[in-house]
């Protein structure tokens, strides 16, 4: 009963004309940037953040969320037709999607990617709606020690799931905390590391850092190598998969949905990891694993379902606990705060319109995406013909102008360029920027929780160990660190190169 | 020089500077933590991780490590350098020369010098992009953009 009683007011928000328009703009822009390689949802959401300042918060979040899950749909088109992932989460779709396209089966590959995404996206929104309420009830009992331990766990999970070195990822989380402390201390009013620069007293802006680390650095990395675009030129027909293709894909879609949903909730898990896990699971369970890599439709259906499911699952920790599971959610957290809304357990109580409106808009957005990605596939193919040589100066230009429009200050532009160069060098030296940005966003909550806990316990760190939920989080974090260390040691003993 | 050694020393320096800065701010006591406590802890943590990276780079065999020069092998490293320089010029000239003129000029230079597009194509795309974004930002979204010395 609760399920529907919450949805009805949610739909009354989501179906308002202004929200429908912004939802459409979000999923359209999301699909567009998903199709275009080299531009991701992080940079785009950061770029469009300033234009949401003048619209109601629910409308703003509906649009920004649409960009995120829309990008997961669009990424598959580029993977299938060009063999270049439009999004990182569509890398595995290249393996079998492009092979299907070469065999003249681009239509069914695009079709199953869109239908799988739609089914998974819709089912995971149902999951989000079901889990969010009970989780909020639990989160309401959290005090500063629980929040501190939860954030430690979140950062450890993020670094544990990192693609490269865990030590480097942990270090970047430390650097993120350092950057997060720049500006006035909110508890004492003391300026920290501002070097008498007035613009730094309010702290570093999220948008210049996010666009620099992810947008500008991505362009720098792309322009130093030649991108070969080999667009499949055959006519795209049979977008609706046939009965046999549906039968081959149905369990891949179901498993991808479940995998994506749970990996989406994990900090750092998200769409990328879930798509890889889904692909491995499908290959392992397949009666014909040799087909994988040569045009197996399950190799497209599973990962594409997983990455869309993960995109919805990632909203759970943000909306219920106020903790972002990935970088996009970190920017959405920033967006909510800019609009004067603090995400967390009280969000549902204080802003039910926003909470249920955003969830309901995801149902609407998924339907819009199905329409955008199937009948309008010809449009996206045309977009794919725009060469990167024209695209990248435009990306840089809009990033810089977007940064300026935040505060009408060239300091933000300079900061963005600085973090662009830093991000480029970090990636060159194999330091991942995601833990840095997530830690940066979490620092104000993290610092407040730590200092309040210490004041409550009169300076004793045992406060984190005597409260059951807090100690539970810390035990899981410690286990992850131990298993990671054992894995490194095992590799070392067996003589493999470790990072 | 090994890449990890260079980056390890760099982050160690960052960590140590953070520790120095936070001690100057005042760490306080555990009962009454002051503004410098969290940056101090973060600085110590960054320094510790940097020492681990450095130790690994000294202990690991040379064959298992990437050289600094190896990071820029087989890539056109000059392209990000030129683009970075053009962006810096754009930022410095933005308020003095104005949005439309600076944007058109820097976009033109990127299309022409970095990507070697034809003169006409470079000019057309850069002017159209600047004009379109001016309409979008200035006219539609009412964003304040610098007019510069030419008044537009």
C-alpha closest to that of A423 among A205, A272, A273, A210: A210
Q: Is A190 on the interface with B (CB under 8 A)?
A: yes
pLDDT value for A361: 93
- Intra-chain end-to-end CA distance of chain A, in Å: 52
C-alpha closest to that of A451 among B23, B19, B34: B34
ipTM, interface predicted TM-score of the complex? 0.93
C-alpha closest to that of B50 among A171, A78, A371, A38: A171
C-alpha closest to that of A15 among A353, A354, A361: A361
List the single residue in A221, A417, A497 with the smallest CB-CB distance to B87.
Answer: A417
Q: Is A496 on the interface with B (CB under 8 A)?
A: no
C-alpha closest to that of A311 among A158, A49, A124: A124
Q: How far is B62 from chain A (nearest CA, A)?
A: 12
List the single residue in A414, A421, A443 with the smallest CB-CB distance to B91.
Answer: A414
| B47-to-A164, A217, B68 alpha-carbon distances in Å | 19, 25, 21
| Cβ(A62)–Cβ(A358) below 8 Å | yes
| Cβ(B94)–Cβ(B102) below 8 Å | yes
| Cβ(A297)–Cβ(A109) below 8 Å | yes
Q: Quote the pTM value.
A: 0.82
Q: Determine the Cα–Cα distance for residues A234 and A101; give it in Å rounded to an integer.
A: 8
pLDDT value for A26: 93
User: Mean pLDDT, chain A, as a whole number?
Assistant: 85
Of the residues B3, B10, B46, the best mutation for testing chain A's interface (the one with the most A CB atoms within 10 Å of its CB) is B46
Residues of B in contact with A415 (CB under 8 A): none
**Nearest residue of B to residue A194, measured between CA atoms:** B21
Of the residues B26, B29, B35, the best mutation for testing chain A's interface (the one with the most A CB atoms within 10 Å of its CB) is B35
Q: Determine the Cα–Cα distance for residues A107 and A374; give it in Å rounded to an integer.
A: 9
Digits of tens for pLDDT over chain B (152 positions)?
788 999 999 999 999 999 999 999 999 888 888 999 999 999 999 999 999 999 998 888 777 778 888 888 888 888 999 999 999 999 999 988 988 899 999 999 988 888 778 888 889 989 998 888 888 777 776 777 888 777 76
Q: Where are the domains of chain A?
A: 2-493
The helix/strand/coil state of B74 is coil
Tell how far CA A97 is from the center of its chain: 23
pLDDT digits (tens, 9 = 90+) for A270-292: 777 788 889 988 988 888 888 88
Q: Is A201 on the interface with B (CB under 8 A)?
A: no
pLDDT value for A499: 41
Q: How many CB atoms lie within 10 A of CB A298?
A: 28
pLDDT digits (tens, 9 = 90+) for A480-491: 888 877 776 776
What interhelical angle do A388-407 and A410-428 show, nearest 10? 130
| No. of helices (H) and no. of strands (E), chain B | 5, 0
Q: How many residues does this entry show for chain A?
A: 499
Q: Determine the Cα–Cα distance for residues A416 and A211; give it in Å rounded to an integer.
A: 7
Question: For chain A, which ranges sit under pLDDT 50?
Answer: 497-499
pLDDT value for A231: 62
Q: Determine the Cα–Cα distance for residues A10 and A16; give it in Å rounded to an integer.
A: 10
Of the residues B23, B87, B125, B139, the best mutation for testing chain A's interface (the one with the most A CB atoms within 10 Å of its CB) is B87
**Nearest residue of A to residue B110, measured between CA atoms:** A393
| Cβ(A120)–Cβ(A253) below 8 Å | yes
Q: How many CB atoms lie within 10 A of CB A55?
A: 15
**Nearest residue of A to residue B103, measured between CA atoms:** A397
| Cβ(B84)–Cβ(A421) below 8 Å | yes
pLDDT digits (tens, 9 = 90+) for A19-48: 999 999 999 999 988 888 767 788 788 777
pLDDT digits (tens, 9 = 90+) for A358-417: 989 999 998 998 888 888 888 888 777 777 788 888 888 888 888 887 778 889 899 999
pLDDT value for A413: 92
Q: Determine the Cα–Cα distance for residues A64 and A407; give it in Å rounded to an integer.
A: 20
Q: What is the DSSP letter of B28?
A: B
Q: Is A219 on the interface with B (CB under 8 A)?
A: yes
List the single residue in B50, B107, B137 with the smallest CB-CB distance to A171.
Answer: B50
């Amino acid at each position: 009963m609760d399920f529907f009683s919450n949805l009805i007011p949610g739909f009354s928000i989501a179906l308002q004309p202004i929200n429908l328009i912004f939802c459409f703009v979000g999923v359209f822009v999301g699909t567009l940037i998903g199709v275009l390689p080299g531009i991701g949802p992080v940079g785009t959401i950061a770029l469009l953040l300033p234009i949401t300042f003048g619209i109601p918060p629910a409308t703003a979040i509906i649009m920004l969320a649409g960009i995120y899950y829309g990008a997961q749909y669009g990424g598959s088109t580029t993977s299938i037709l060009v063999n270049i992932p439009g999004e990182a989460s569509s890398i595995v779709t290249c393996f079998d999607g492009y092979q299907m396209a070469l065999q003249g089966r681009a239509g069914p590959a695009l079709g199953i990617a869109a239908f799988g995404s739609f089914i998974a996206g819709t089912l995971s929104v149902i999951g989000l709606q079901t889990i969010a309420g009970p989780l909020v009830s639990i989160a309401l009992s959290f005090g500063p020690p629980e929040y501190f331990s939860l954030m430690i766990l979140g950062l450890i999970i993020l670094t544990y799931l990192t693609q490269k070195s865990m030590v480097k990822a942990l270090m970047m989380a430390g650097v993120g905390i350092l950057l997060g402390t720049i500006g006035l201390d909110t508890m004492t009013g003391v300026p920290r590391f501002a070097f008498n620069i007035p613009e730094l007293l309010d702290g570093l802006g999220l948008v210049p850092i996010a666009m620099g680390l992810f947008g500008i650095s991505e362009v720098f990395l792309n322009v130093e190598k030649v991108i070969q675009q080999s667009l499949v030129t055959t006519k795209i027909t049979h977008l609706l998969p046939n009965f046999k293709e549906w039968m081959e894909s149905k369990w891949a879609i179901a498993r991808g949905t479940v995998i994506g949903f749970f990996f989406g909730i994990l900090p750092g898990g998200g769409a990328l990891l879930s798509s890889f896990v889904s692909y491995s699971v499908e290959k392992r369970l397949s009666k014909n694993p040799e087909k994988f890599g040569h045009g197996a439709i399950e190799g497209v259906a599973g990962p594409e379902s997983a990455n869309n499911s993960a995109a919805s699952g990632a909203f759970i920790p943000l909306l219920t606990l106020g903790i972002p599971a990935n970088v996009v959610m970190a920017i959405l957290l920033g967006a909510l705060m800019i609009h004067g809304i603090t995400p967390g357990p009280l969000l549902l109580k204080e802003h039910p319109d926003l909470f249920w409106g955003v969830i309901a808009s995801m149902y609407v957005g998924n339907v819009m995406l199905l329409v955008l990605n199937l009948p309008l596939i010809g449009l996206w193919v045309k977009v794919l013909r725009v060469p990167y040589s024209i695209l990248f100066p435009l990306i840089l230009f809009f990033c810089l102008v977007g940064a300026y429009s935040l505060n009408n200050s060239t300091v933000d532009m300079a900061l963005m360029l600085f973090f662009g160069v830093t991000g480029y060098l970090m990636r060159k030296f194999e330091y991942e920027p995601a833990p840095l940005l997530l830690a940066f966003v979490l620092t104000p909550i993290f610092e407040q929780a730590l200092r309040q806990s210490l004041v409550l316990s009169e300076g004793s760190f045992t406060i984190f160990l005597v409260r059951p939920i807090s100690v539970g989080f810390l035990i899981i974090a410690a286990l992850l660190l131990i298993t990671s260390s054992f894995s490194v040691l095992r590799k070392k003993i067996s003589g493999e190169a470790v990072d | 020089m090994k890449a990890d050694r260079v980056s390890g020393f760099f982050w160690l320096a960052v960590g140590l500077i953070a520790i120095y800065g936070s001690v100057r701010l005042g760490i306080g006591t555990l009962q009454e933590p002051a503004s410098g406590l969290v940056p101090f802890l973060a600085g110590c943590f960054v320094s510790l991780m940097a020492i681990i990276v450095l130790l690994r780079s000294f202990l690991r065999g040379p064959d298992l490590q990437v050289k600094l020069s190896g990071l820029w092998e087989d890539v056109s490293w000059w392209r990000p350098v030129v683009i970075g320089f053009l962006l810096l010029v754009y930022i410095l000239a933005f308020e003095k020369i104005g949005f439309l003129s600076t944007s058109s000029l820097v976009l033109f230079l990127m299309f022409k010098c970095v990507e070697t597009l034809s003169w006409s194509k470079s000019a057309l795309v850069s002017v159209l992009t600047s004009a379109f974004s001016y309409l979008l930002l200035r006219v539609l979204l009412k964003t304040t953009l610098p007019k510069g010395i030419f008044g537009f």
